[in-house]
Amino acid sequence: MDGIMGTIGTAVGMFAGTNVDDIIVLTVLFLSARASGIPKPWQIWAGQYGGIAALVVVSVIAALGLTIVPDDYVGLLGFIPFALGVRSLIKAIRAHGTGEDSSPAVATGLASVAGVTIANGADNISVYTPVFRTIGPAATITTITVFAVGVALWCLAGSWLGSHKRVIEIIERYGQWIVPAVFMAIGTLIVIESGVIGKIL
């Protein structure tokens, strides 16, 4: 019993510690969903689960001794949210020039939400891999179960944070500029903190 509780405690700490920034991403996505209807809430949930599942699968495979993405280059995934932000910003500038309304949506569907989740959690692989390498199958299943519960709690938290009327009004008015800026900032931080540019140069 102590072993199971210890595993659960470790998994909770590991998930929370490596996914704190996901709360920001989820909040922005849910705000966008409420302000413009894009992406749909179910796409945010499914994309988040899909993205975290992909990170876990890659980590488990890496723990078995197989490397899919070299650790030195996972930071390149930061260009995914950055590119989505740039695309949305360009769309907003064009719409502004013609006087049309522009949606604040950056991630517009399940695939793009999953892509942002994977990019934002690319560094999680370096944390998860050694853990999966040192624990047994039973503890691995327990850890993955905790992660699944954690994703649900994160989505609920993001939905709650993104449900405040005043904030939604701000996003409806300025979201076409705020949301792309947030995603570009997230992408930039991922790339800078990984140090991948220096490794390439």
DSSP state letters, 94-115: HHHHHT------SS-SHHHHHH
The larger pLDDT score, comparing residue 133 to residue 167, is at 133
Q: How many domains does the chain have?
A: 1
What pTM does this model have? Answer: 0.73
Instruction: Provide the pLDDT confidence category of residue 34 given band limits of 50, 70 and 90.
Output: confident
Instruction: Provide the pLDDT confidence category of residue 129 given band limits of 50, 70 and 90.
Output: confident
| Report for 37-41, 101-105, 121-125: range of highest mean pLDDT | 37-41
CA angle 3, 51, 59 (to 5 degrees): 50
Rounded (10°) CA dihedral 159, 39, 13, 153: 40
Question: Which segment of 2-16, 130-144, 182-196 scores lowest on mean pLDDT?
Answer: 182-196
Identify the CA nearest to 120 among candidates 168, 72, 187.
187
In Å, what is the CA distance from 110 to each residue of 67, 94, 114, 148?
26, 25, 6, 17
Structural domain of 67: 2-200
